[in-house]
């Protein structure tokens, strides 16, 4: 099994599959997560091949763009890797990561069902792309894609959501900072992930302070 050849084929496959994707969930998102995952892997005892495949395939069919269906992405990844003659144990590990990586799964105790160091690395890499400057850009890009309000002072963030309420939320974009983005710093798994997240978290807090000052005409 030529791992380098499989990674190259996976990159080409993902680029093609996501060529018309929404800007926050396109190939460039995948590329950033892939690079972050490799970076974090340098400080962790993990199978870098599994990490690479999972990072590249983790959003191959994001449920948000497939009527909430969480089975499509794992199936596409499974079928693709089978066609690449990847070992069954590796395929299973990659698919398990895809099934458990999402923030919405944190509303449930999914770690009781599956966990691995590779999942922790890819999950951190994915979450890092949801915070900081790029996280802010992605958040507003998706809000615009869904035609959501930027902010509504009368709609309070829901800090006690279930998985289903989170999936079906149509709240203003600013609410998403409190319902997800600002929570991610304390959900990081790895030492490297925690360090990078802390810096990006501070940037988001600075952004929100500026946002409210401008909204309220303070400056």
Q: How many other CB atoms sit within 10 Å of the CB of residue 13? A: 19
Task: Output the pLDDT for position 204.
Answer: 98
Digit-by-digit pLDDT tens for the chain (219 residues) are 799 999 999 999 999 999 998 888 999 999 999 999 999 999 999 999 999 999 999 999 887 778 777 889 999 999 999 999 999 999 999 999 999 998 866 656 555 578 999 999 999 999 999 999 999 999 999 999 999 999 999 999 988 877 777 777 889 999 999 999 999 999 999 999 999 999 999 999 999 999 999 999 986
129's CB contacts (< 8 A; 6+ apart) are 29, 32, 33, 36, 135, 138
- How confident is the model at residue 110, as a pLDDT? 52
pLDDT of residue 170: 84
Sign of CA dihedral 142, 146, 147, 150: negative
> Which one, of 184, 173, 163, 170, lies nearest residue 208 by Cα?
173
Measured distance CA(132)–CA(104) in Å, rounded: 19
Cα–Cα dist 211/216, whole Å: 9
Q: What is the pLDDT of residue 106?
A: 64
DSSP code at position 147: T
78's CB contacts (< 8 A; 6+ apart) are 91, 95
CA distance 70 to 61: 8
Structure tokens at 215: 């909204």
State both tokens at 76. 């596409």
57, 77 in Cβ contact below 8 A? yes
Q: Read out DSSP for 80-111?
A: HHHHTT--HHHHHHHHHHHHH--GGGGGTTGG
Q: Which residues of 67-103 are buried (b: 16+ CB within 10 A; e: fewer)?
A: eeebeebbebbbebbeebebeeebbebbbbbbbbbbb
Picking from 172, 173, 198, the residue whose alpha carbon sits closest to that of residue 184 is 198
Residue that has been written with the tokens 């972050």 in this structure: 36
């Amino acid at each position: 099994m030529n791992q380098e050849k499989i990674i190259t084929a996976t990159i080409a496959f993902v680029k093609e599959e996501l060529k018309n994707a929404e800007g926050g969930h396109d190939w460039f998102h995948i590329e950033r997560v892939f690079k972050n995952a490799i970076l974090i892997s340098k400080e962790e005892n993990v199978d870098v091949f599994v990490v690479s495949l999972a990072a590249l395939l983790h959003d191959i069919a994001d449920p948000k763009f497939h009527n909430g269906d969480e089975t499509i992405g794992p199936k596409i990844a499974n079928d693709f890797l089978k066609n690449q003659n990847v070992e069954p144990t590796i395929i299973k590990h990659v698919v398990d990561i895809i099934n458990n990586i999402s923030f919405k799964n944190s509303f449930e105790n999914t770690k009781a069902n599956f966990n691995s160091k590779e999942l922790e690395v890819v999950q951190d890499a994915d979450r890092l792309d949801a915070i900081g400057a790029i996280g802010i850009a992605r958040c507003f890009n998706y809000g615009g894609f869904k035609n959501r309000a930027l902010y509504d002072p009368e709609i309070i963030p829901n800090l006690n959501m279930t998985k289903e309420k989170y999936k079906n939320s149509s709240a203003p974009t600013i609410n998403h900072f409190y319902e997800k983005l600002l929570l991610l710093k304390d959900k990081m798994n790895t030492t490297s992930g925690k360090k990078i997240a802390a810096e990006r978290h501070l940037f988001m807090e600075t952004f929100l302070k500026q946002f409210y000052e401008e909204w309220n005409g303070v400056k």
